[in-house]
Chain A
Amino acid sequence: MQSTKLRAIIASENPVEQNLLTEVIEREQGVVVVGQARNALKAVALARHLRPEVVLVDSRLPNTLGLDTVRLSRISGFDTATAISRELPRSLVVLLPNMNVLLHRELEFDKDAEAYLYIQTLAANVPIRLRELYNETTPSSSMVFANIEARERTSYRSKFIEICDKATLFSGIASLGGLALIVSIVLAGAGAVLTIGGVAGLLFSLTGRALATYWPKRRRIGYKSLVAEAIQLKEAKIDRKADAQRISSL
C-alpha cells in the first residue's frame, strides 16, 4: 500500500498557485501531481478521466471563464469539490479556502520559509499528510477543508536547535534524577548508621538488663544464705560450748 504512489490533481485558476500547490504536495514522499485544471468544468472532467486518489481544489475557482470583473465567477470551488467528492467517493478531496498569490510572494522573499497544508480546528492547527488522510478516507468523509500557510523551513540549523532543546530537557531530567539519587544515598547512609547504632544499643541494653537482673539476685541470695549459715554455725558453736560446759560441770 505504501509503495503505491498517490496521484493528485490540482484545480486552481492561477498558475502561480498551481505551482505552489504542486511543490507542497510533491514534498510529501509518494505523492505525484498528474494533472492541473484552471476552471471547474476542466477539473471535473479531469477527475472523471484520471480518477486520482487526491484532488486539491482552490475555493476561488471560476466555473468556465474566470472573469475578473465578476466576483462570483470565481467562487465555484466549493461546488466543484462537492461534485468530485460525490462522483469519486474513494478519493480524498481537499478544499483550500485561503489560497492566494501573496503567500507565494512571501515564500519567494523569505527563503527560510516553506508552505504547508493544515486543518484548522477550534483547538489548534494540525499539519496534514495526504497519505494518512487518504488512508482514513471514507465515502462520508472524503472532503476535507484545509488551509495553506508559510512556516520556517526545516534546516540543519533548526534541526540542531531541536536536538539542543531535547538535550536540554533530558539533561535537566538526568540532573534532577541524579540529585534525588544522591539525597537518597546520603539518607540511606544515615539510616544505616542509625540502624546499626540502634541494634547495638538494643543488644547492650537487653544484655545489661539481663545481667543486672541475674547477677545481683544470686549474690544477694548467697550472702543471705552465708549469713544464715554463719548464724546457724555460731548458734551451733554456742550450743556445743554450752553442752561442753554443762558436761564439764557434771
Chain B
Amino acid sequence: MIAKQMLRESHLFEQLNDTDLDSITSISRSREYEAGATIFTEKGLAEELYIVEKGKVALQMQLSLSQPQLNKKVTVDIVTQNEVFGWSVLVAPYKYTLSAVCLEHTRVTATDGVKLRALIQNNHRLGYEVLNQLIKVVASRLDETCHVLISERSTQV
C-alpha cells in the first residue's frame, strides 16, 4: 500500500487533494531494486511513472557516434528522493527517452501509465494539476541537460 503522504511530498502530485491522491494511490505500487538494476531502457514502451521513495537512479542517454565501438551511455541526470522520472508515460508516443539505472538500493513508487492517462482524461482538474507539474519536471531536466552538455560535455571522457 502506497502512503498518501509520500505522494504528496513528490513535486508531481503536491497540488492534489485527498480524493485525487486516493485515486493515484489505488493505481500505484511500491517496488525495490538492487544497485545496478535497470528499471527501464531508452526507447522502451513507457508503462509506468516513477517517484523515488529512497535511493538514487541515474538517467542515461545512448550516445551514438560515427564509429559504433565508441557508442556509449551518458548520464544526464540523477534523481533522488521524491523526484519523478519516466514522464514519457504521459506524453505520446509513450516511449522512454532515457534509461534508468539504480546507483544504490532503491525503492520507488510505480504508477500505472494507462490507468493514469484514463484518470487524467476523466478528471480534467486532476489532469491539469498533474500536467502542470510535469511540464516543470521536463523543463528542469531539459535545462540541466543543456547546461551539462554545453559546459562540460564538449570534451569527451
Interface size on A, residues (CB 8 A): 32
Q: Does chain A have a CB within 8 A of B120?
A: no
A59-B103, A78-B75, A120-B105 known; A72 vs B155 contact (CB < 8 Å): no
A40-B157, A63-B155 known; A72 vs B35 contact (CB < 8 Å): no
Interface size on B, residues (CB 8 A): 28
Residue contacts A-B, CB under 8 angstroms, 28 given? A41-B157, A44-B157, A59-B58, A59-B78, A63-B148, A63-B152, A63-B155, A70-B144, A72-B144, A72-B145, A73-B147, A78-B101, A78-B103, A79-B73, A80-B157, A83-B157, A97-B35, A97-B103, A97-B104, A98-B104, A120-B104, A120-B105, A121-B34, A121-B105, A122-B34, A143-B36, A144-B36, A145-B103
Please determine whether A75 and B105 come into contact, CB atoms closer than 8 angstroms.
no
Interface residues of B (CB under 8 A from A): 32, 34-36, 56, 58, 60, 72-78, 101-105, 144-145, 147-148, 151-153, 155, 157
Q: Does chain B have a CB within 8 A of A71?
A: yes
Interface residues of A (CB under 8 A from B): 40-41, 44, 59-60, 62-65, 67, 70-73, 75-76, 78-80, 82-83, 95, 97-98, 119-122, 143-145, 147
Bound CA–CA A82/B36 (angstroms): 11
Which residues on the A side are within 8 Å of B102 (C-beta)? 145
Which residues on the A side are within 8 Å of B58 (C-beta)? 59, 75, 78
Please determine whether B151 and A73 come into contact, CB atoms closer than 8 angstroms.
yes
Please determine whether B157 and A70 come into contact, CB atoms closer than 8 angstroms.
no
Which residues on the A side are within 8 Å of B153 (C-beta)? 63
Which residues on the B side are within 8 Å of A40 (C-beta)? 157
Bound CA–CA A67/B105 (angstroms): 28
